[in-house]
Structure 1
């Protein structure tokens, strides 16, 4: 697969975009016209720089409003087109994207379009160039891929083909099945883009909300399978118009883009193994069997360890060669705490380990998906946990199944054995699992984080939800496996309150238990500071559900929240914020499968007040 990316996907100057694309591992780029026009570098310098970086220049785009016009207008359009061919010769590239006409089309006649496109093809041939004709979803007369392809077939010129763009096809709800029957010699270029499902006009949807494959709601797996079945073997390129991408770190965005292409290609390979489009095949995803440990870093050690003790954890030991690391255990739940000293630094989630059958293969898959290995010295008698960096800079560890499939192969480094982990009696080990990890990301990197975990670990994304907070809507989405679940939240950023909340929005660990009341009572007895839940919540709860007054009084006393679905119940409480993180404890009854998101507005409002008070000293 020849991987390519349009420069319009990336932030920065054209030179910075080329550098980022090459560093990420792309083989080629599309040159977006505006990027070249605003560049201080000559076409020859751009050509030479791309060659130095090992990048091919695959497509110059876009050329607009060529066809469906009166003859005098068309002749002037040919003049414009010829100037672009001359420019492309200076760039050392030979293919241009011609879009179906939107603004100046006045002649709705396929015969005219065929004659005009053939004339353009003859002009292209004189310059050794090729035209890739694309149907814009909002084109005035030509707006479907089948129509554009039919015109190309009638033109029947070796220098004229079609460009297939997944957004223009799927945004209209068009069925891509017919692509499989196209003549591959007539498909000159392939552009890929995903997008979230949105109720809005196609043009603003396209210009502002495209995302990389796997980060939206289009069925790109099926789309790519049809392309592969056609026999197409040309460039596979990303064309993403997204306001947040244009503001994000250029290097990080490029890596995210290539990861999305590799992930999609891997899915296609298994469905169309005989395709001439040579697609990379990854090692199978190692289905996580659970969370092995979660790692926190803090400059407020006493605050964190006190909260863990109050929740029933005990100190298991200190690391043999890195004594700043402590292991806190309860049942099969392991929390590693890194003490950075008395800095007062906020507590944050810095790493987590997942239990997999083959840790080496899992790490290899992650690195094939553009993850970077963490440089780590493994001492004598210490376990290699194959850590890689996540997009946010935290560390993901791959841990073997260990003792009875419970992981924890590394615990001897802390001075105790795996079979000792659950040696506490059943009364004190009330917490027995990590229910899920709740990650928080800036809005422009949330989709990247979801794609990273879903592609590396083989998890599936759930439907997104939008939760109201005092600072605006919080975008939340779960990515799930059978035994490992994450949620990813993106806090609002577009106001003073939103910027403050996004900066301090906490991540959290949700612990699972069989008796939330026992955990809460023990924690309160030990002095745990819970997140206070307002009385209005419990009045509303009594109105929403047919709950007995004695039960309402019981959960109210302990600041426990309640949610219910047709399948079961979810009872949970939150600790007060601990810097940039906090703990939640949840009990699932019956077949409840959610995350208690009906109570998220309550939590967000309470945490907003607490964080504002802590950071700014403003009364709640």
Structure 2
């Protein structure tokens, strides 16, 4: 199906918005009236520009507060509409979006509204324009799609139909199944938007918090399937009001938008094909050849993390080596052509990169996670899927004899390497690490580390939802609900992506400073960390202390409160106090974790022990960690000033 986007979804001038939409591959646009009014180009020039860019103009919007008015206001509204119809002819667009009246003076009389909308359609007909009537979720009297359809049906004019907007329907928890009963020829337009579930005024929710499909809490796959089952064959169009998108690079936002539509269209196609693959009941027209939904290459689930790469320049690299050694890692080998060290603990691998700029990674100079090695069964298919999802491939300097690892760039610049089967067992990319290791405290004391539990990646303020969709669409990871964490430097929002099922695959926690306060707030949010799993955290803590790299100190107040609010024995609380361990439980299992000091003000390690199926991440303790790291950072700054 054709793909379109409303210009209100992008930042910039109208000309910049059209260029961004065309560059990533959209077929058409909805022109938002404010964008046209602010443009120095005449309507015919905008039409010509869109044509040069390969875009159709699919909708002009919005026309507000037309129906449910007295006769005097109706006459004025029809004059206003006729001017818009003439403009639309110049613009080359044949469909006008008319919103249900949302003014306090609107008259709640369906017969009157039907008569007035018929008059509007009759006025539009000579101009070759259609009128798509949309029920606003906050409309004074018409706020549901079923109500808007009844009025359109009563008006009974070929130039009048409905516009279906997923936000207006799903934000009211309205059942979209009834869409299937609307005749196909009467569904003039479809607008798609997702949104996080929020308990707030629906108008404010709509104007500020919409997002692209897959980034919120609505089931847009089922919604879109209902519309297609009704016979709709027009464009899939995005209309997203979002404060972040309005301030972001329009090219990035357009790419994110198209990725969301690609993933949605693929999901709908697979839903409709499910019976052929042994699934459930098909949509009534699943075999209709006129339904042309674009499929992506099949999803290849992420199986785990083959490695995590840390970039650290001196002195952070020396501190990173010391902490890795204290955690029981050994520096085993060096890359034969790149300044990268391989640190191993059993089959758990950390790469330490001395930040050679030729590797093509985005790196700020602080110690940070710069690359992930994701284990997948078919890297070539994942790479093909990534290309269709507007995820750019990373070019890499590689000697001919080295492993040919495909890599793509995540929205925050993290390099995501696609590791083939067998690499975890020592084949493929690990063979590139053939140089003898330079001795950097090579052997750590034995510790019961068992693997990588999860990764915490800080996201730039305007990439949070984009990154979430990237990992969902590319690897089949599912997002948790957002968790807001109170940092001493401001609110941090966290969302964890995992693979559903008994084997979770990689766990990736995305973190963002809610107010986007810049690098200092970002670091204070503690967004870059590697969490290592173990089966005896007491032994790990003792080994770290013995190696001179003990976990961060946790306040005595924490343990006093822990003793008061839990049934833990005094002896166990004192053991945790002495070792810097934190505790959580979810009613079934328990969670013990500790944190390393900050490395160069940004990166830290976490060690976790999950007991009896605990599935969380110890969020109840995050503010304690943030406060401890902040105190550590301030102490270092005071020492530097004193020096």
TM-score range, shorter chain: over 0.9
Aligned-CA RMSD value:
2.3
**Corresponding residue for residue 86 of structure 2:** 86
**Corresponding residue for residue 379 of structure 2:** 359
**Corresponding residue for residue 461 of structure 1:** 479
**Corresponding residue for residue 567 of structure 2:** 546
Aligned with residue 312 of structure 2, among 281, 298, 301: 298
**Corresponding residue for residue 412 of structure 1:** 431
Q: Does 1:444 align with 2:462?
A: yes
Q: Distance in 2 between matches of 1:188 and 1:408?
A: 56
Secondary structure of the equivalent of 1:387?
strand
Q: TM-score, normalization: structure 2?
A: 0.91
Report Cα offsets for 1:215-267 as digits up to 9, x if no partner: 11112122112112111110111111111111122111111111111111111
Aligned with residue 511 of structure 2, among 480, 489, 493: 489
Q: Distance in 2 between matches of 1:236 and 1:618?
A: 57
Secondary structure of the equivalent of 2:242?
coil
After superposition, the Cα gap between the structure-2 partners of 1:202 and 1:75, relative to the gap in structure 1 and judged at 3 Å, is: same
Asked if 2 retains the 8 angstrom alpha-carbon contact of 1:10 and 1:254, the reply is yes
**Any residues of structure 2 matched to 1:202-221 within 5 Å, and which?**
202-221=202-221
CA deviation after TM superposition for structure 1 residue 285, in Å: 1.8
Q: Distance in 2 between matches of 1:446 and 1:106?
A: 40
Aligned with residue 446 of structure 2, among 401, 424, 428: 428
Q: Does 1:229 align with 2:229?
A: yes
Q: Distance in 1 between matches of 2:118 and 2:479?
A: 46
CA deviation after TM superposition for structure 1 residue 425, in Å: 11
Asked if 1 retains the 8 angstrom alpha-carbon contact of 2:491 and 2:515, the reply is no
Moved more, 550-559 or 336-345: 336-345
Q: Distance in 1 between matches of 2:470 and 2:516?
A: 25
**Corresponding residue for residue 137 of structure 2:** 137
After superposition, the Cα gap between the structure-2 partners of 1:610 and 1:38, relative to the gap in structure 1 and judged at 3 Å, is: farther
Aligned with residue 300 of structure 2, among 281, 286, 299: 286
Q: Distance in 1 between matches of 2:122 and 2:61?
A: 19
Aligned with residue 619 of structure 2, among 586, 597, 603: 597
Secondary structure of the equivalent of 2:428?
coil
After superposition, the Cα gap between the structure-2 partners of 1:191 and 1:221, relative to the gap in structure 1 and judged at 3 Å, is: same
CA deviation after TM superposition for structure 1 residue 167, in Å: 0.5
Q: Distance in 1 between matches of 2:486 and 2:364?
A: 31
Asked if 1 retains the 8 angstrom alpha-carbon contact of 2:329 and 2:444, the reply is no
Q: Distance in 2 between matches of 1:356 and 1:567?
A: 32
**Corresponding residue for residue 546 of structure 2:** 525
Secondary structure of the equivalent of 2:121?
helix
**Corresponding residue for residue 346 of structure 2:** 331
**Corresponding residue for residue 175 of structure 2:** 175
Report Cα offsets for 1:465-496 as digits up to 9, x if no partner: 2121112322111111112111111223267x
CA deviation after TM superposition for structure 1 residue 617, in Å: 7.1
Q: Distance in 2 between matches of 1:100 and 1:132?
A: 10
Q: Distance in 2 between matches of 1:76 and 1:618?
A: 71
Q: Distance in 2 between matches of 1:370 and 1:106?
A: 45
After superposition, the Cα gap between the structure-2 partners of 1:407 and 1:18, relative to the gap in structure 1 and judged at 3 Å, is: farther
For these two proteins, the number of residue pairs brought into alignment is: 610
CA deviation after TM superposition for structure 1 residue 208, in Å: 0.9
Q: Does 1:314 align with 2:341?
A: no
Secondary structure of the equivalent of 1:21?
helix
Q: Distance in 1 between matches of 2:174 and 2:634?
A: 48
Q: Distance in 2 between matches of 1:176 and 1:499?
A: 44
The answer for unaligned runs of 5 or more in structure 2 is 274-285, 358-362, 437-441
Secondary structure of the equivalent of 1:349?
strand
Q: Distance in 2 between matches of 1:164 and 1:615?
A: 57
The answer for unaligned runs of 5 or more in structure 1 is 418-423
Q: Does 1:163 align with 2:163?
A: yes
Q: Distance in 2 between matches of 1:25 and 1:612?
A: 48
Q: Distance in 2 between matches of 1:352 and 1:168?
A: 39
Asked if 2 retains the 8 angstrom alpha-carbon contact of 1:102 and 1:139, the reply is yes
Q: Distance in 2 between matches of 1:456 and 1:320?
A: 31
Aligned with residue 596 of structure 2, among 570, 575, 581: 575
Asked if 2 retains the 8 angstrom alpha-carbon contact of 1:229 and 1:272, the reply is no
CA deviation after TM superposition for structure 1 residue 78, in Å: 0.8
Secondary structure of the equivalent of 2:162?
strand
Report Cα offsets for 1:266-304 as digits up to 9, x if no partner: 111112242544222122221222110111111222122
Secondary structure of the equivalent of 2:168?
helix
CA deviation after TM superposition for structure 1 residue 145, in Å: 0.3
Q: Distance in 1 between matches of 2:614 and 2:531?
A: 15
Moved more, 604-613 or 172-181: 604-613
Asked if 1 retains the 8 angstrom alpha-carbon contact of 2:46 and 2:91, the reply is yes
Q: Does 1:536 align with 2:525?
A: no
Secondary structure of the equivalent of 2:406?
coil
Report Cα offsets for 1:429-449 as digits up to 9, x if no partner: 522210011111134321111
Asked if 2 retains the 8 angstrom alpha-carbon contact of 1:299 and 1:341, the reply is no
